[in-house]
Amino acid sequence: MSLINLEKPEHAYFFGFAQTDGYLSSSSRRRGRLSIEIQAKDSLLLEKCQALFSCNSLITKRTRDTNFKKDYSSVIFNIFDLEFRKEIEQLGLPVGKKSEIVKPPTVPFSEKDYWRGVIDGDGSLGISKGGSCFISLTTKSEELKEAFVNYCFKINGILKNPHRNVRDNIYNITFLDEGARDMVKELYYDGCLCLDRKLEKSKEVLNWVRDPNCKKITWQKKKWDDEQDQILLSNPIEKAAELLDRNIKSCEMRLYRLSKKKSII
């Protein structure tokens, strides 16, 4: 019997959080562990996660100096169970360094709970100094970026086309104002498992109201359908762009998405 079921909201959340904030190690004689280390003030989350699984695990605390802070206190959740480690690796949490290769699971999973876990691990949300609300995800993974962009499009209708930044070679996918509020409403629902401090931030976002002096952008992304896809695939890209009343960049992006979809099938 499986120890982790990603169709369960809490398990899906844990998996997303472990993929971003966790580290899976393995050594000789079947030894190894899944470790998740977070700041001490967030320890309640790890206690809730520990209660989800009936397997060999331990929560410890430590204080140390880091490059950013002296006497930094943290809590570490370790799962030693071999069968659990095998399962979570098969689901898509690689052993060792994972930032560039991590990707969403290929089995059915609770999407909003999984992505909330990812955001709690490698994302942020809240109200900016300028008064806009926002939600963002930073990742080095091409597949995680692509999946998040597509998921967000389903929720808020905004299709992003992010590029890696020059300094860190990472994607920073950010939504503002109504787009951010739609995402937060979907992800941080009543009673969900999450970091308490991000739950408080989610309430700020949901209570956000646009400044009446700040004009809302009203244009809408044109959604692709099967007929438009056929026109795009049956014509040179310049001709297809003319027929569809779209720009070349939009057509190139759609061709890329169709090729990715075909490779998955």
Q: What is the pLDDT of residue 108?
A: 96
pLDDT over 90 (residue 181): yes
Give the mean pLDDT of 231-254. Answer: 88
Q: What is the pLDDT confidence band of residue 184, given thresholds at 50, 70 and 90?
A: very high
* pLDDT tens digit sequence for 189-225: 999 999 999 999 999 999 998 877 766 654 456 778 8
Give the mean pLDDT of 226-238. Answer: 89
What's the rounded Cα separation, in Å, for the pair 171 and 165? 6
* pLDDT tens digit sequence for 101-154: 999 999 999 999 999 999 999 999 999 988 899 999 999 999 999 999 999 999
What's the rounded Cα separation, in Å, for the pair 228 and 242? 12
**0.75 surpassed by pTM:** yes
* pLDDT tens digit sequence for 12-35: 999 999 999 999 998 878 889 999
Give the mean pLDDT of 162-170. Answer: 89
Q: What is the pLDDT of residue 105?
A: 94
For 100-136, b where at least 16 C-beta lie within 10 A, e where not — what string? Answer: eebbbbeeebbbbbbbbbbbbbbbebbeeeeeebbbb
